[in-house]
Amino acid sequence: MIKIKNLTKKFGKTPVLDSINLSVKRGDRIALIGQNGAGKTTLIRIILGQYFFDGELAVFDKNPRHHRVEILERIGFVPQLPPPIQMNVGELVTFSAAISRKSSIDDIYQKAAELGLDIGKNVKKPFQKLSGGMKQKLLIALALAGQPDILIMDEPAANLDPQGRQAFFLQLIQSLEKTTMLLSSHRVDEIINLINRIVEMDYGRVVQDEQIDQSHFADKMLACRVTLTKNHEAAIRMLKDWGFKNVNGGLELEGSFIGAERLRFLTSISHFANHIQKLNIS
């Protein structure tokens, strides 16, 4: 669906993307991760046909800059920050449905309802006055209603609080089982259950491109024992959030979690790697 070969992008003399090679096939659900300035948003904008570039890029076998409209009819995009649109919700929904050949107002209402947003109750409300979560849900509903072949989301939960992010991704998991996705995020642990591939970028290059296979342990319970080096409050709190309990009142905690969650657990605990003496999963 997307083929990228030796793609380079410079702003002035500064290279932002440097010889990127990547391909996205149907069914890929990619987490595009990396620090600020790694080039994630630039890559997304090039795929959307918003930047010129050097190298080769084909989206559905076409150049996205020369065949913008054709390609964008098959892509759904959710930006990192909701744009400061002055229209009210009803007007935005009507506009989006009118622009797209594949979505209707009813489709948008339905998609929003699946994500927990009642458009009917907010139709006269200015888009700007919605909460951060509601804005993101509406933008996702607008993107999904067009039945996109690829859904691209740039840090879709960046402006949500932790509780909001968790609920948001849970709902996405339920709604997007079979959609091809490119999902840019700082936090792999939040989106790990959505994805089957991780592409990591650093200084404009792809430094990691790994498939994730969760099938082996997905439905099995895994027992885990963690020994800390000291009484670290934050680490203990995190483990207790996972249902862990102290063993003998000391620095050992034990618990269990389902196999599908193991990458999310490991990502969470990696923040406290300096304070872990021993970690055992079986």
Asked if residue 51 binds other proteins (CB under 8 A), the reply is yes
Interface segment toward other proteins; rule CB under 8 A; list 44-52, 175-183, 187-195, 242-250: 44-52
CA distances from 144 to 3, 107, 130, 132, 221 (A): 23, 9, 19, 18, 34
Asked if residue 77 binds other proteins (CB under 8 A), the reply is yes
Nearest to 137 by CA among 180, 168, 182, 100: 168
**Is the CB of residue 232 less than 8 Å from the CB of residue 46?**
no
* Closest CB to other proteins among residues 45, 186: 45
* Closest CB to other proteins among residues 51, 257: 51
Asked if residue 48 binds other proteins (CB under 8 A), the reply is yes
Structure tokens at 91: 């007007």
**CA triplet 95, 98, 99: central angle to 5 degrees?**
85
- Could you tell me the smallest distance in angstroms from the CB atom of residue 92 to other proteins? 8
Asked if residue 234 binds other proteins (CB under 8 A), the reply is no
Which residues have C-beta within 8 Å of that of residue 35, sequence separation ≥ 6? 186, 202
Binding residue count for other proteins, defined by CB under 8 A: 28
Asked if residue 72 binds other proteins (CB under 8 A), the reply is yes
* Closest CB to other proteins among residues 69, 221: 69
- Alpha-carbon gap, residue 213 to 207, rounded angstroms: 19
Please state at what angle helix 162-175 crosses helix 105-114, rounded to 10 degrees.
Answer: 120
Going residue by residue from 103 to 132, which x/- string records binding to other proteins, judged by CB under 8 A?
Answer: -----------------------x------
Binding residues (CB under 8 A) for other proteins: these are 45, 48-52, 68-70, 72-73, 75, 77, 79, 81, 83-87, 91, 95-96, 98-101, 126
